[in-house]
Amino acid sequence: MNEFRAVPLQGGHVQLLPLAASHHDGLVEAVRDGELWRLWYTAIPAPEGMAAEIERRLSLQQKGSMAPFTVLDAGGKIAGMTTYMNIDASHRRVEIGSTWYAKRVQNTPLNTEAKLLLLGHAFETLGCIAVE
């Protein structure tokens, strides 16, 4: 896990790409679908805060504590974000979280497959012994 970073992961319903600043406009469009930033029970960036959130996640990636992904639907449209977070390379442990999706893909197979891809990659490729 010393070389822990986001890499492209592909499924039938979802594609995960390493987060990039160029994903900004698609992420803003996704967060507007359902006005997700208004949800009281979670912290999702508002459209005007998306650039700062991308920068924050990329900064945490540089520090080695996060591997952020942009999530795309089967048609290639940006649908949200997810991460490996709280990376603990010395104990081969990682968390999956900071996930949000556009309303149009909620309650679809997208999230299930995204998590399956992340779990499989963590255990099979990265050699994790614990994923939370």
Return the bridge partners of 71, or none.
16, 80
Rounded Cα–Cα distance for residues 39 and 19 (Å): 23
- Is 68 domain-assigned? yes
- Answer whether residue 38 is part of any domain: yes
- Here the CATH number for the domain that contains residue 84 is 3.40.630.30
Percent composition of the chain: helix, strand, coil (DSSP 3-state, to 5) = 40, 30, 30
pTM above 0.85, yes or no: yes
3-class DSSP state for residue 5?
coil
Total number of domains in the chain: 1
- Check residue 1 and give its pLDDT: 41
The answer to whether residue 103 is domain-embedded is yes
Q: By residue range, what is the domain housing residue 30?
A: 9-131
Q: Along the 132 residues of the chain, how does pLDDT read in single tens digits?
A: 447 889 999 999 999 999 999 999 999 999 999 999 999 999 999 999 999 999 999 999 999 999 999 999 999 999 999 999 999 999 999 999 999 999 999 999 999 999 999 999 999 999 999 999
